[in-house]
Structure 1
């Protein structure tokens, strides 16, 4: 079973427990199960799936899961409550496959604690809905990004990066060491939604992009803010992890997003036709 399949199975198990807690009105337990899957989201968003896979190989088989000493020493009551819930669930779960999922969920928390990432993970969980999608690296050109990816002996697992102002999905298959990247439309829906809410009448105004970037260094957005450059509206986006801003020309971004949505609709329609023809054969 691949690490991604194992993570997905554990995710589904935690999601089922969350739904059960919600249905039965156990609000605190429901919140903890949401937190459980947020650890997986952090591992995936930061490109650490293969690092986690290596970590699992170093976990000695035992009748019952062990708690990381780093977690026990950390004054993080949320993670400790999550761990208490998972240990209780492990003891109460009779099905071996489900026990494996719970064991993996426990290892996720231990991995984050043992690698000193509890605070970073908590920041990600608390702010991910209000912050821009997480990118782990920035490059000025695609050529530089490709050179970086090609030169890595062990690339991260699939993760988002920035090339200029655009998101790209970087992928890496550990089985055959293939790797690549493609354009990902992550911010376009944000631009569309914020424009629909209304652009402020008097946004900060600048003559050039350089002036806007200099101003943003001392006035970081939280994380989105409209600015005007040479009379055109832009959305400034603060990428806290990378300590930089990207600037997105509103008019052209909305045009690109509409073109992308139409392309996806055409592709889905074509796939539906192919599937229908296959069923009729």
Structure 2
């Protein structure tokens, strides 16, 4: 699997570096990195690791591990999951949420997160989205077009119902999400709220 998941070669390289490292703290960090790669090998997650590395090379938004149509579906999944992820992103109605799980207390939470808004903002030039690759009236039309492409990109800007959208393809779960660029407007309110919540410094006493 050298060409697909060179974890074995990476483990050997870490071992060579470990032999030349004198710092005990750095040795522990290198050992932890090697053990993480061994975990991938021994649990048979080489292909998942390959897909993860491939996603890192794309310009698409943050990777997610699951997608749900409703909050109730997501809550049921999290409640009944025998071994939920410690921390991972999921989509609920194409909106980003982060799963948090504490094994010692069995606490399971899933708050919404604004990561996609920042991604959309970075894509906007001069405050405007890139030109759309195609225009559609419905999501069904957009989905049919996207899945008909010879190679599905990680993302594509489209016009949907008269508004600019980002169509983001999550290859690991075969899900096409639609994110309106209008979500960026929410960042203005969020930043304004953060600014208002900042406690001003106490004025210096007058002498």
Tell me the TM-score normalised to structure 1 length. Answer: 0.63
Look up the SS of the partner of 2:195 in the other structure: helix
Aligned to 1:210, which of 127, 140, 155?
140
What does the per-residue CA deviation read over 1:183-212, in whole Å, with 9 as the maximum and x for residues that have no partner? 111211221122217545564112222222
* Larger strand percent: 2
**How far 1:121 moved relative to its partner?**
1.4
Structure 1 position 263 matched with structure 2 position 190? no
Q: Separation in 1 of the partners of 2:8 and 2:32? A: 16
Look up the SS of the partner of 1:241 in the other structure: coil
**How far 1:84 moved relative to its partner?**
2.4
Structure 1 position 247 matched with structure 2 position 178? yes
In the TM superposition, what are the counterparts of 1:96-135 in structure 2 within 5 Å? 96-130=24-58, 131-135=60-64
Q: Separation in 1 of the partners of 2:17 and 2:117? A: 40
Question: Where does residue 192 of structure 1 map in the other structure?
Answer: 121
Unpaired runs of at least 5, structure 2 = 203-207
What does the per-residue CA deviation read over 1:245-274, in whole Å, with 9 as the maximum and x for residues that have no partner? 1112222x121222223333344x23xx5x
Once superposed, which parts of structure 1, at least 4 consecutive aligned residues long, lie more than 6 Å away?
Answer: none
Contact kept? 1:221, 1:236, Cα under 8 Å: no
Q: Separation in 1 of the partners of 2:77 and 2:8? A: 38
Unpaired runs of at least 5, structure 1 = 1-73
Tell me the TM-score normalised to structure 2 length. Answer: 0.83
Deviates more, 1:140-149 or 1:77-86: 77-86
Work out the number of aligned pairs and report it. 199
Question: Where does residue 85 of structure 2 map in the other structure?
Answer: 156
Q: Separation in 2 of the partners of 1:159 and 1:202? A: 30
